[in-house]
Every structure is written in C-alpha cells, then in structure tokens.
Amino acid sequence: MCGIAGYIGKRQASEFLLDALKKLEYRGYDSSGMAVLSEENTLNCVRSIGRINALEEKLKGMKSNGSIGIAHTRWATHGYPSEANAHPHSDCSGNIFVVHNGIIENYKILKEDLIKNGHKFQSNTDTEVIAHLIEERFKGSLEQTLADVLKCIEGAYALAVISKNDPGKIVVAKKSSPLVICIGKNENFIASDSSAVAGYTDKVIYLDDGELGIVTKDDCKIVSIANNNKVHKECCSVDLDVSEIRKNGYEHFLLKEIFEIPEVVKNSTRGRMILDQGLVKLGGLEVLDQDKLRNINRIIIIACGTASLAGFVGEYMLEEYAGIPVEVELGSEFRYRKPIIDSKTAVIAISQSGETADTIASLLEAKRKGALTLGIVNTVGSTISRETEAGVYNHAGPELSVASTKAFVSQIIVLALFTIYLGRTRDMSLVMGKRIIEEIDKLPCLIEETLKNHEQIKSLAAKYSKYKNFLFLGRKYNYPIAREGALKLKEIAYHIHAEGYAGGEMKHGPIAMIDENFPSVFVVPNDSVYEKMWSNMEEIKARRGKIIAITTKGNKNIEDIADDVIYIPKTLEMLTPVLTTTPLHLFAAYMGMEFGFDIDKPRNLAKSVTVE
Ligand code: M6R
C-alpha cells in the first residue's frame, strides 16, 4: 500500500529511485513521483498519474540531477488519483518534500489550523499537512522538527522527508507502516521493503514503531521520537536475488508465479520432513518451550483475503489430524472483538507480506492478552515475523503479482507441515505421519501434471468470458478453495462477478440465481464428500445451469453431468486443495487476459494492505 524509496550517496538519485519504484510498484500504482535535491541545493519534483513508466517518460524531459532524493508510488486513500495528489508533497515554499505511506487520521483539524495560519494547500491528501507542519515549526534541524510534528500526528505512517533548509540528509520515521534503511558503501537507501534495493546492497536496518532515522551518505542514526534518545539497531543481511524479481520470459508475474508452484512446494518443504520417523522439523518453532506448544488447547488463525482462505484449509487439517480446535478469524474483525484468549491459545498470523495492517493489529491484541503468537509468513524480516514469538517462513520467494497464488499454495503446505508437527506430539500415529509426508513429497510432480492443462483452461476462459456471473462450489477441504477461485476471478477479471459457496449452502439462497446464463464451477475431487457434491451438481443441472468441474483423474462419469471437466491427479484428501487451486488460478488469469487487463496489477488493488 504505497511504496517509498529514498537515496543519498554518489549516484544520480533519480536512476536508483526509478528502479526502486518499479520494484515497489506492486504496492500501489495509481500515481507516482520523486523529488531530487541537486548539488546547487535546488529541489526538483516530478509527479505523474498512472504507472511508473509514465513517470519515467516525464522524467526524460526534466531536470532531475542530484544525489539525494525521495520517491513514491501511490495507492490512493485520501484524494482521487491525480498529479496533484501524487507524492512527494511540499510546503508553501517548495523547500520541504515528504513521501508518506499510511493515514494521518487527524489531518482535517491540523489542515484547518494551518489554513488559518495562511498555508496554501495543493492537494486533497492527508500527507500534505506534514510538509506544512514542518514548515511552520522549522527551527534549523529537520529531524528535531519532524519529531516535534509527529507528536501531534495520529494515525499510521512511514515517512521520508528532505529539505533544502537542512540538506545532506533524509529524515525518516515509522509508526505502523513498514520502512527499512539499507546500508551501502558511501551511499544509503530507504525503502518500504528490502526488495527495492536488490542488486544494490543486502544490509538492512528495520525501523521500529516510534523511531526516527537521520540518514546521510555515510551514516545512519536512529533515535526515539518520544525522547530523542539514540537507539542501537542491528544491521541484518537479507537474501535478495534480483533474478527472482524478473519475469524470466513470462508475459506476466502472475503466470510466472503460478508456474513456479512445483518449485515453491519443494522450497517450502526442503529439509523439513523426516520420512522414516513421520516427523516434521520446523526450525522456526524450536526457539519455543515445546511444553508450551504441547499444552495449547485451541488455535486461532488470523489472516486477511487469500491468506485467510489458506487458514480455513488449515482449520480442517489441524482439527482432523492434530485434534486441536481451530477458529479462523479475519484480521479486520478480530481486532474489534472481545476474544476469549488465554496462555493455552495459540494465535497464528498468516500473511504473505507480513505487513497487513489488520492482521498485525489483531496479532498485537492477542499478544497483549497472553496468547502464544506464531506466524506463517513469506516475507523475511517483515513486521509479523518480528512481532510473533516464533514462526515458519514459506520460502515461496518474492511474490510480485498483486493476486496471491504461489504464496497461497505454500501457506497450505506449511499448514500441512504444522499439522504433522503438532499432530505427532498428540494422537497422530507414525504411520499417518509417514503417509502424509509421502504424499506431500509427491505434490511437486502432481502440480506439474496439473499445470499441463493450461491450454485447456485457456480455451475454457475464452469460452466462458461472455458470462457475467459465476458460482464456485466446494465442500470440506475444497470449500475454501471454491471461495479462493471466486476471489481470484473477481480480483483479476473484474468484469465478472463471482461468489464462492459451500456446496450444501447453495440451495439456501444462491440457487435462485441459477439459469443457463449463470455457470457454476464445482471443485469436486474424489473425496469423502464427492457424493454430496454430485447431488449439488444435479440440482444445478436441473435449473439448466452450466457446470465446469474440477475432479480427480479417472472420474469419467462426471462428463455425463458437467459441461467441461478439468482433471487433477489423485492425492490424499487433505492435500487436494493444493491441486484444485492451480486450475482456478489459471482460469482467473486467462479470464483477465481475455479482457486485456494488466493481470499483475488489477485496478484499485495493492499488494500489501498496510492501512486499516
Ligand atoms: O500479505 P497478506 O498475505 O497478509 O495479504 C492478505 C490479502 O491482502 C491478500 O491475500 C489479498 O487478498 C490478495 N490480493 C488476494 O490475491
């Protein structure tokens, strides 16, 4: 949700900033901009509506020399996407420029006071008040003024500020929105996440809430906003592989990421399964007192969007095989409830980005109430990975497409591993532990086989793109997958409306909408609820509804009832979601392509939702 970049050093700042913005574009892409401070101490700002390449075009004809600069790619919160609302924002005199990710909740009242004092505003954003407040209170030191200003700001922010009145530095601050300072040799970088500096440095300092950083070419000092005391911070090395953030011959990141899934499953499981003992080894959980983990009697999974649907698959797995009651809660709801939590409750936050604001807020609430907090997170070093007591990384690699695909599958895989990990300390037998591990081990090959259906799925997308509505139906392990199929179709091919429903719920309402113009996608592997789903297919057929079925290879009889069938290989029931997901992800991707959409960056969305 908005990407921030900053540079101070020996290069042309604009070159790094442009490169960084392209890597951060997945965070928001309705407008962008940068401000560069030249050696002659002039500030040049360029802003553009639309994607980063529009900014790049604009920069070609503009003065942007200088080795200090800040930049931003926006996902609108306050003020529609326009050049005036694009960041960086400045004060009245154009001496101070600010980029911001987050929401200033009390901006209206601050703005009214500033206007009374004669300040002239150019945008409808909440961010602009910060530049004017700095202008109003400036007494020579940018960092002291910013610290002073932040004391009257309510809300969330990751900020980077430069000023020609106190040049030679970038001042940054953080509260509830992510920000990293990346350390180079005679140069330093600022970014919303470390992927932006891949290829430049691998040394990262994670700013924590309430901290302010003063970043110069050769130094980086962190202080507490509250009392100005120096804070000692560790500089971490991160593994940033530039090739992972390239399309590698694919037309879209989304397709690349779907086709990477077999490899992702190998990476998520590598070194974690001990077949002959039917055990799973999760290094990230070893820091815990194992008795504490053994004693938990309830799990609450907290997540948003697609990650929550992986959580629902985990709920079925953990209850069936580890014998622990599980509830899945949306971050945006859990944070405002009065949950009953004790020290025997484990709260697992699932998040690809590790930065989703609602998931973080819920996690912190659970932590305050004494729960054991765990994370299943893909982004190394992210807020959730740092705020949880222990956790498991997905190792899915950077996911750049806004729609989450490979991370979703890896979340299910990690939940399966977690099920064995916990199950084997409880009632799960050696035989069952071994059986699940054997089946997980086969998954990469089985996913490869599923991916071979891509041409068939592409032609199905062409055939069905004329329909405006879809119903996705599944039961038990594949009920969350039906919801995921619908979510992806809405997200990527947004001319189509889709709903994901539990097969048994269909006749309690949605069936009213079914006719020959309203197709249904049935997620029906050959499992314990297959017969029940068959009855649901009959009910749809009786209303002349079209059926696309995803089922297990060998289920030939389904061709008698379904209009189109996509076959997947056979696996253990609890692992079928790993195989049924891929055709649905491909279907949504090809549908989006049918409409000519940018399937990596669907309209109105952003990859990581760092505002409430
Ligand atoms: O980074 P997270 O996994 O916490 O993100 C959660 C959701 O915002 C995310 O899964 C969203 O629903 C995706 N765009 C779905 O494809």
pLDDT at residue 612 is higher than 80:
no
Measure the CA–CA gap between 304 and 609, rounded to whole angstroms. Answer: 9
Tell me the residue range of the domain where 342 lies: 253-446
Domain identity same for 264 and 241: no
pLDDT digits (tens, 9 = 90+) for 97-137: 999 999 899 999 999 999 999 999 999 999 999 999 999 99
More confident residue, 29 or 550: 550
Domain co-membership, 259 together with 371: yes
Q: State the average pLDDT over residues 308-336.
A: 96
**Is residue 510 a part of any domain in this protein?**
yes
Which residue has the least CA distance to atom 8 on ligand 1?
Answer: 305
Give me ligand 1 centre to Cα 605, in Å: 10
pLDDT at 79: 77
Q: How confident is the model at residue 416 (pLDDT cuts 50, 70, 90)?
A: very high
CA 435 from chain centre, in angstroms, equals 32
Q: For the segment 139-196, what is each residue's pLDDT rounded down to a tens digit? A: 999 999 999 999 999 999 999 999 999 999 999 999 988 899 999 999 999 999 888 9
Helix axes 52-60, 13-24, angle to 10 degrees: 160
Instruction: State yes or no: pLDDT of 248 exceeds 90.
Output: no
Question: What is the per-residue pLDDT for 242?
Answer: 65
Q: What is the pLDDT of residue 609?
A: 84
Would 609 be classed as within a structural domain? no
- Cβ–ligand 1 distance for 306 under 6 Å, the answer yes
Place of tokens 């002959």: 276
Same domain flag for 431 and 532: no
What confidence category does residue 351 fall into, taking pLDDT thresholds of 50, 70 and 90?
A: very high
Ligand 1 pocket mutation pick from 195, 301, 306 by most atoms within 8 angstroms of CB: 306
- Res. 241: pLDDT tops 70: no
Please give the residue that has the higher pLDDT: either 39 or 92: 92
Based on the domain organization, do 12 and 161 belong to the same domain?
A: yes
Same domain, 13 and 144: yes
Residue 497 domain flag: yes
**Boundary (domain end) residue, out of 195, 219, 245:** 245
More confident residue, 608 or 370: 370
Question: Is 243 a residue whose pLDDT tops 80?
Answer: no
Same domain, 233 and 375: no
Task: Please compute the mean of the pLDDT values over residues 366-378 and round it to a whole number.
Answer: 95
The answer to whether residue 601 sits within a structural domain is no
Domain finish residue from 245, 278, 293: 245
State if residue 332 touches ligand 1 by the CB under 6 angstroms criterion. no
Q: For residues 293 and 486, what is the distance between their CA atoms, to the nearest angstrom?
A: 35
User: Is residue 197 domain-shared with residue 259, that is, in the same domain?
Assistant: no
Query: How high is the mean pLDDT of the chain?
Result: 94
288/1 Cα distance (integer angstroms): 33
pLDDT tens sequence across 66-92: 999 999 998 887 778 899 999 999 999
User: Per-residue pLDDT for 8 more than 90?
Assistant: yes
For residue 610, tell me if it sits in a domain: no
Please tell me whether residues 107 and 136 are part of one structural domain: yes
Which of 343, 341, 390 lies closest to 362, judged by CA?
341
Residue 489 has pLDDT above 70, yes or no: yes
Taking residues 370-394, report their average pLDDT. Answer: 94
Residue 244 confidence (pLDDT) above 70: no
Please tell me whether residues 461 and 587 are part of one structural domain.
yes
Could you tell me if the CB of 404 is within 6 A of ligand 1? yes
Ligand 1 within 6 A of 609 CB?
Answer: yes
The verdict on residue 604 lying in a domain is no
**Is position 607 annotated as part of the catalytic site?**
yes
340 within a domain of the structure (yes/no): yes
Average the pLDDT over 329-351 and give the result. 93
Q: Is 182 a catalytic residue?
A: no
CATH number for the domain that contains residue 465: 3.40.50.10490
| pLDDT tens-place string over residues 566-608 | 999 999 999 999 999 999 999 999 999 999 999 999 998 888 8
Rounded distance between C-alpha atoms, residue 133 and residue 128, angstroms: 9
One domain, residues 520 and 556: yes
- Give the mean model confidence (pLDDT) for residues 418-431: 96
How confident is the model at residue 27, as a pLDDT?
80
| 157 Cα–ligand 1 center, Å | 20
Tell me, rounded to whole angstroms, the distance of Cα 103 from its chain centroid: 18
Can you tell me whether residue 301 is helix, strand or coil? strand
Indicate whether 220 and 333 sit together in one domain.
no
**pLDDT higher than threshold 70 for residue 371:** yes
Average pLDDT over residues 444-473: 98
Residue 60 has a pLDDT of: 87
| Residue 47 belongs to domain with CATH number | 3.60.20.10
Ligand 1 pocket mutation, candidates 334, 356, 406, criterion most atoms within 8 A of CB: 356
**Can you tell me the mean pLDDT for 531-558?**
96
- What is the distance between the alpha carbons of residues 435 and 269, in angstroms, rounded to a whole number? 15
Q: For residue 50, give both structure tokens.
A: 């639309």
Q: Does ligand 1 come within 6 angstroms of the Cβ of 403?
A: yes
Domains of the chain: total: 3
In a domain, 605, yes or no: no
**pLDDT at res. 470:** 98
Same domain, 199 and 318: no
